[in-house]
Amino acid sequence: MKKKFLALALSLVMALSLAACGGSQEEAPAEEGGETPAVEEGGSDVITVGFAQVGHESDWRTASTKSAQDVFSAENGYELAFVDCDNDSAKQLEAVRNFIQQGVDYIIIDPIVSTGWDAVLTECEDAGIPVIVIDRTIDDSDKYVSWVGSDFKVEGLACGEWLKAYAADKGITEINALVIEGSTGASATIGRTEGFKEVADREGWTILDSQNGDFTEAGGQEVMESYCQSYEGQFNVVICQNDNEAYGAMTAMDAAGVSYGVDGDVIIVSFDSNKPAVQHVLEGNMNATFECNPMAAPFVDEVIQQLEAGETPEKEIYMEESWFAAEDIVSEITVNGEAMPVIHVTQEVLDARPY
Ligand code: AHR
């Protein structure tokens, strides 16, 4: 095991904790909450990685976890200690501190919330363990080597620009939107909310309400059920900040007798673009979906390999993302001065989706 930065004291702590755990872990199982899985002192070339994952709230999250488990495998020369933090910030900080105790070589964090990180990142720095942040951002500390993820504000802007062009083509002059937000304090929520609101404010649209659906199907359904009661007959757009919320929102609208999608009264869109959502777009149940790419792990692997070679990786690495729509009406939008294609979903497009 490469322990370039390990102090003797940490080795002792790890040896003791391994003795207490009494076993080896080829690949750490996906633990929810609970104790941080220990890493084993293995062969000399094994790179140990601790990953403090947000949780298991969505299909996107499942794809992100799978990507990490595939990349940081024994086959690829890694030993992964994986912790599912169950959307609990305190558990996530504890997981990172346990990784420090274990003396892993690298720590990956997908931060549940964007603030409250400087103290624990300082502890990582003091222990000499490089941190790589993925997906969501950390806004109150820069004590990490690299961040690999999405520009959430661009996603929100893209959604707004697509809606503007789509509404113009359909002759829709008034937009009364309901937003189902993701988890409070997550940079994915903050960016998507800001981006969409920027276009809404500019275009004079009404955002009737914007409530937290926690990035879950149950959360989306619950928020939409209450929207259907409070805003009956008043809304023509529902913005779901992830796919799973959209599935819940469709269930709630079905129950309330509200029609949606290509032939319905309400335009519904989502973020993430997992395969089931793209299938809904193909079938016309949803009007559009804006991708958030969960496959960060191969880029993190690259960052680690650069560090191993003594190189300096990029501080920020942006994932490539696409926008998908049910109808072949808007083929291009402009976001921050950049022209971006909107992909009309066909069976071929759906079949090519990787997750
Ligand atoms: O941080 C990424 C977001 O978190 C995804 O959009 C969502 O599905 C996930 O839970």
- Give residue 21's pLDDT: 32
CB of residue 188 inside a 6 A radius of ligand 1 = yes
| Cα of 15 from ligand 1 centre, angstroms | 36
What is the extent of the structural domain holding 180? 152-292+322-351
Confidence check: pLDDT of 242 > 70? yes
Whether 137 and 198 share a structural domain: no
CB of residue 152 inside a 6 A radius of ligand 1 = no
What is the position in ligand 1's atom list of the atom closest to the CA of 60?
8
Asked if residues 224 and 238 have their Cβ atoms less than 8 Å apart, the reply is yes
* Domain count for the chain: 2
Whether 74 and 218 share a structural domain: no
Whether 180 and 198 share a structural domain: yes
CB of residue 58 inside a 6 A radius of ligand 1 = yes
Whether 141 and 88 share a structural domain: yes
Around Cβ 97, how many Cβ atoms within 10 Å? Answer: 16
pLDDT tens digits, one per residue of 267-291? 999 999 999 999 999 999 999 999 9
| Cα of 191 from ligand 1 centre, angstroms | 12
| Cα of 319 from ligand 1 centre, angstroms | 14
Whether 204 and 239 share a structural domain: yes
For the segment 65-81, the average pLDDT, to the nearest whole number, is 98
Q: What is the pTM of this model?
A: 0.90
Whether 158 and 272 share a structural domain: yes
Beta bridge partners of 135: 149
Whether 223 and 157 share a structural domain: yes
User: For a pLDDT cut of 70, what percent of the chain falls above it?
Assistant: 88
What is the position in ligand 1's atom list of the atom closest to the CA of 272?
6
pLDDT tens digits, one per residue of 215-238? 999 999 999 999 999 999 999 999
- Give residue 35's pLDDT: 56
Task: Specify the CATH number for the domain of residue 25.
Answer: 3.40.50.2300
> 174 exposed, middle or buried (CB, 10 Å; 0-12, 13-18, 19+)?
exposed
**DSSP annotation string for 302-333:** HHHHHHHTT----SEEEPP--EEESSTT--EE
SS3 181: strand
Whether 83 and 175 share a structural domain: no
Q: What's at 310, amino acid-wise?
A: G
| Ligand 1 probe mutation, 54, 56, 58, most atoms within 8 A of CB | 58
Whether 266 and 312 share a structural domain: no
Whether 12 and 117 share a structural domain: yes
CB of residue 189 inside a 6 A radius of ligand 1 = no
Whether 175 and 242 share a structural domain: yes
| Cα of 11 from ligand 1 centre, angstroms | 36
Whether 340 and 221 share a structural domain: yes
Confidence of residue 29 (pLDDT cuts 50, 70, 90): very low
Confidence of residue 3 (pLDDT cuts 50, 70, 90): very low
Confidence of residue 38 (pLDDT cuts 50, 70, 90): low
Helix (H) or strand (E) holding 210: strand 206-212
For the segment 246-252, the average pLDDT, to the nearest whole number, is 99
What is the position in ligand 1's atom list of the atom closest to the CA of 187?
1
**DSSP annotation string for 22-84:** TS--SS---EESSSPPPPP---TTPEEEEEEE--S-SHHHHHHHHHHHHHTSTTTTEEEEEEE
Confidence check: pLDDT of 63 > 90? yes
Helices (H) and strands (E) in the chain, counts: 11, 15
| Cα of 212 from ligand 1 centre, angstroms | 13
Average pLDDT across the chain, whole number: 91
